[in-house]
Amino acid sequence: MSADTEQKILDAALKVFSEKGYNGARTRIIAEKSGFTEMTLFRKFETKENLFNRVLSENKHKIMEDVDSLMVLDDGENDPKTQFRTLILNLVDLVDKNFEYVNIIIYEREKIPDSVSKIFVSHLANYLDKILLETKIDHNVLAFMILSFLYFIILNKKTEMKFLDLDQAIEEFISYHSNSLEL
């Protein structure tokens, strides 16, 4: 099976697992969405669980590379408010771009052996430690708050029940935390 075929199946599986969850996802639907037969899917991945685990590992690697690229300290920028603002705006884009994966992580957390959320929160907290040196808040708590906020505003954007103005919510979040952290 070519790498292109495999990637099409993984992309289709990401969408279906995100929409239906692991239990609701049917390999027949994944195969149809990928443009291949269910036999092709099973030839490559053998089981739905193997396919699910592969979707998780491929996307975990990709999103952590993106996170790492965002969390590089800018030597030219020393203002914590500006750094915090830039971080939030970049993370909004990251979560938006990877929403299907994030959605799986949130709803299928019992099926995921090493918590990607925990890794992400820890990674983000370490970065916050570096840019918010003078704050008294627990950076793990702030990182968890940021992740939760990002998920729900992008969920709001992706659903038809838009009850928030995305740009306004982001600005208020940044402003509130910048002021409460005394940045």
| Angstrom distance (rounded) from CA 15 to CA 91 | 21
Task: Please state the domain extents for the chain.
Answer: 1-46, 56-180
Per-residue tens of pLDDT for the chain, all 183 residues: 588 889 999 999 999 999 999 999 999 999 999 999 999 999 999 999 999 999 999 998 899 899 888 888 766 667 888 889 999 999 999 999 999 999 998 888 777 766 677 888 888 999 998 888 777 788 999 999 999 999 999 998 888 777 788 899 999 999 998 887 765
- Residue 114: the pLDDT is 62
Q: Are the CB atoms for 146 and 92 separated by under 8 Å?
A: no
User: What is the fold of 56-180?
Assistant: Tetracycline Repressor; domain 2 (1.10.357)
Task: Calculate the alpha carbon distances from 140 to 25, 96, 117, 162, 180 in Å.
Answer: 33, 22, 12, 29, 16
CA 23 to chain centroid, in Å, comes to 21
| Angstrom distance (rounded) from CA 117 to CA 36 | 32
Q: Which CATH class is domain 1-46?
A: mainly alpha
